[in-house]
Structure formats: structure tokens, C-alpha cells
A and B are shown apart, each in its own frame.
Chain A
Amino acid sequence: MNIDSIQNGVVIDHIKAGKSMEIYNLLQLYNLDCPVALITNAHSGKMGAKDIIKIDSENLDIDLDVIGLIDPNATVNIIRHGQLVEKKALTLPLELRDVLKCKNPRCITSVEQDLSHVFRLTDKQSGTYRCLYCEAKAERRN
């Protein structure tokens, strides 16, 4: 894989330096069987330093919107045949299923291991997610 350019896939750019590993884990990129490049502390005129993730895959089926949870300022570029075809705007998903874990010890999810951890976006402006079951606020990562 050529780190500089990919033919088909996704480039997640302008990630706050140091945050790329969190995005890698949240999107579970370790499960992909295509090449994934993590570039940390790259030089950026605007930001000083930034992280970049490049995913080299023709048909990628992952929910990129959740990136906004970690870094709402990251940009997502879709690449086809070496060309930038789409700059994807990040909109926070209305529901997160098994993405975040409820940390409330009084929540039913704390005793029933088989339950999905579901969070709903309850306030778009502040990006607040609350547990479907106990309504505890999700702990934001940024």
C-alpha cells in the first residue's frame, strides 16, 4: 500500500493529533481485511500536527458518522480511482448500538451482559447521547 495516495477508499484527515487510535478502535478498523494506514503527528499548516487514517478498500461498509463522536472536526474524503469524489460531512448518528458502553452502575446493562448498549442522540446541538435504558449521559471522549 502506498501511504501517500490510495486508489479507492477513505481518507480521514485533519484528525486532532493523537486521536487516530481512538477512531481506529471505535470504527473497529482492526476487523478489516484491507490495508489501513495510521499516520500520527503529520505536519499540517492549519493545525500544526494532525493524524490521518487511510483505508484502502473499494467497498467499505462502516458507519463513518461515529467519527464525529471523537473528533467532530475530522474530514472524511471518499476516493475513487485516485480522485476525491466526495467530502463527507459528519452528522452524528441518531442511535449508537454497541458503540459506547453505559457506565452507570445502576443501569440494567450493568447486570445483564447480553443486552446491547444503545445510546440515543438527545440533543443535537451539544451532541449529547443518553443511554436508552437509564438515560445516563454518554461520557464524551473529547
Chain B
Amino acid sequence: MRSLIDILELSTQEIDELIATANDIIEHPEAYREKCRYKKLATLFFEPSTRTRLSFEAAMYELGGQVLGFSEAQSSSAAKGESVADTVRTVSCYADIIAMRHPKEGAPLVASMAASVPVINAGDGGHNHPTQTLTDLLTITREKGRLNNLSVGFCGDLKFGRTVHSLITALSRYEGIKIVLISPDELKLPSYVKKDVLKKKGITYVQTRDLEAVMPELDILYMTRVQKERFFNEEDYLRLKDMYILTPDKLHNAKSDLSIMHPLPRVNEIHTSIDADPRACYFRQALCGKYIRMALILKLLEIE
């Protein structure tokens, strides 16, 4: 029995297999409609994340399975002081697989050590969020047909964005990846990610504040939201949040097959007039999130 807590627990071969399954589901959805019949997914969300929870629930329903769970800590046993381990031991009696989101880092790992069913980390604070990374990898594969030889730009909050850190880590295992880091000085990629991932793996990277200058070389532009809750003062937030607003004019020198990604929800960092541009793939990305979760549920439940 396996769980998924950190994206690096999956080999690149396993990621390829998950992507292949997801692609097959997209092509033949009817073949998967009964795969999880009589199976139950428990979504244990100790902090709200409607988007991620709905994606997991939709995934399980489309596999013919059922869903139970809670969507915030107040309505859970944690409010009564129950430990994560006790909660999942109990839930293991009711469900075949667990998707857990928790504000504390490492909580899903604790859960996986106590549960008798597979646990999927659906986000633990600012730490890991492997299904987001899998979503991104499936999206890139579908948009670009490959995960190697790509120039990938990350723009916005690269300091606190765990989505960014973990996608960079995942991409660093493929050949010919160039990473372009675009952010204000205050929100630069932390030095430990540069040291432990980029330098260690010998990945080419550049760091800049100027999005338009690097635009022509990008195959993928991954936009991120500057999160208000990361800032101590309103002033800094307001100053930094509007530094990179992607508008159609900024794409004038972009490649014709650029893929614009965003983990969503967006605030204003991508202007809505870009949504109609075929290069905007963030809504297709959200759809990928459902399919890759379907593939993951099948893998962890060992359903062929």
C-alpha cells in the first residue's frame, strides 16, 4: 500500500505512467466510469480549499466511486483535539483512500504512517502539494508533447510559492530544462532552492525582473499570484502584487506556441482579455487536475 506525500516519491517513469493513464482517461472516459465502483474517497480538509477538494471529488465521482469527508477543521474531530493519527485510523475504517489537506507541514505524512489505506497529500501548509505538480506536468505534456528541452519561465511570487518550488524540483529531473525566474527582488526564489535543486542538478537558470526581455525565449510562462497573507504590511503587498500583470501587449514578442499556465485562483495577474488567446491554458490546466487525480487514485488503489 502506497501513499503520495511528496512528488519526489514518484520516479519519472511512474510520472510518465500516470500521465499516460490520464491521457487514456481523456480519450476513453467511458472505460473508466465504473473503475472505482463501491470505493470511497475521504476528503479530510483541515483547512478550506474548495478548488482542490472539488477536483478530488469530481475525480472520484467520474471513476464511479463515492466521496465522504469534511471541508474545514471546525467541523472535524480536530476541533475536539483529536490527533491526526487517530482521525485517519478511524477514517481508514470507512474509506478506501484518503486525500488530506492540513495547515501544518508534515501532517499528511503523519497520517500516512497511521492509516491503513493510501493517503494523498492535498497540500500541507507551504510545504508539499504533489497533485498540483502532477497537474502541471500533465498540462505541460499535453500542451508541449514533452517534459524535456523546455524553457520555463516562472513569474510573480517565487519566494513563497510552493507550487513553483515543487514544479522546479520535478522539472529538474528532465533533460534540457532551462528555468527563467522573473520576480521583484523581494520575492526571488529562495537560495536553498537554487542551491539544493538548480545548482545540484546543473540546471541552467536566469534571474530577472524584466518579463518582456525574456518573453521571446519562453516555451512556458507560469504565472503566480502574490498572496496577501504572506505579507506583514499592506503597503508592500499593494506595491508588489501589481508588478506583473499579464496583458495582451506584453505578449507581442512571445512565441506563437507559448503556453501560459497559472495554478488558479488568479486575482488580477492575468488580464481576462488573455483568456481567449489559445496560448492561455490555465483552464485546461484545471481540467488536467481532475484527470491526473483520477489516474493517481487508480494507481494507489492498484486498479488496472
Contact = CB atoms under 8 A, between A and B. Distances in A.
A107 B126 CA distance: 10
Nearest to A135: B127
Interface string A122-133: 000000000111
Contacts of B126: 106
B106 interface: yes
Nearest to A110: B104
B275 interface: no
B246 interface: no
Given A106-B104, A106-B125, A132 B83 contact: no
Interface stretch (A5-13, A56-64, A89-97, A111-119): A111-119
Contacts of A132: 106, 109
A59 to B, nearest CB: 33
Given A106-B125, A106-B126, A131 B106 contact: yes
Interface residues of A, number: 16
Contacts of A109: 106
Nearest to A104: B105
Interface in B90-119: 102-107, 109-110
A107 B105 contact: yes
Contact of B104 (A111, A114, A135, A136): A111
Contacts of A110: 104
A112 B104 CA distance: 10
Contacts of B270: none
Contacts of A136: 105
A82 to B, nearest CB: 47
* Most chain B CB inside 10 Å of its own CB: which residue of A109, A111, A114: A111
Contacts of B124: 108
B254 interface: no
A133 B110 contact: yes
* Most chain B CB inside 10 Å of its own CB: which residue of A112, A114, A131: A112
B84 interface: yes
A106 B229 CA distance: 14
A134 interface: yes
A106 B105 contact: yes
Contacts of A131: 106
Contacts of B110: 108, 112, 115, 133
Contact of A134 (B83, B84, B106): B106
A93 B262 CA distance: 42
Contacts of B105: 104, 106-108, 133-136
Nearest to B105: A134
A135 to B, nearest CB: 7
A104 B107 CA distance: 13
Nearest to A114: B83
A8 to B, nearest CB: 40
B83 A133 contact: no
Contacts of A135: 105, 127
A110 B84 CA distance: 13
Interface of A: 104, 106-112, 114-115, 131-136
Given A107-B104, A108-B104, A114-B83, 17 more contacts: A104-B105, A107-B105, A108-B84, A108-B102, A108-B105, A108-B106, A108-B110, A108-B124, A110-B104, A111-B104, A112-B83, A112-B84, A112-B110, A131-B106, A132-B106, A133-B109, A134-B106
Sorted from nearest, which 6 A-B pairs have the closest CB atoms?
A: A133-B106, A134-B105, A108-B104, A108-B106, A108-B107, A134-B106
21 contacts: A106-B103, A106-B104, A106-B125, A106-B127, A107-B105, A108-B84, A108-B104, A108-B107, A108-B109, A108-B124, A109-B106, A112-B83, A112-B110, A115-B110, A132-B106, A133-B107, A133-B109, A133-B110, A134-B105, A135-B105, A136-B105
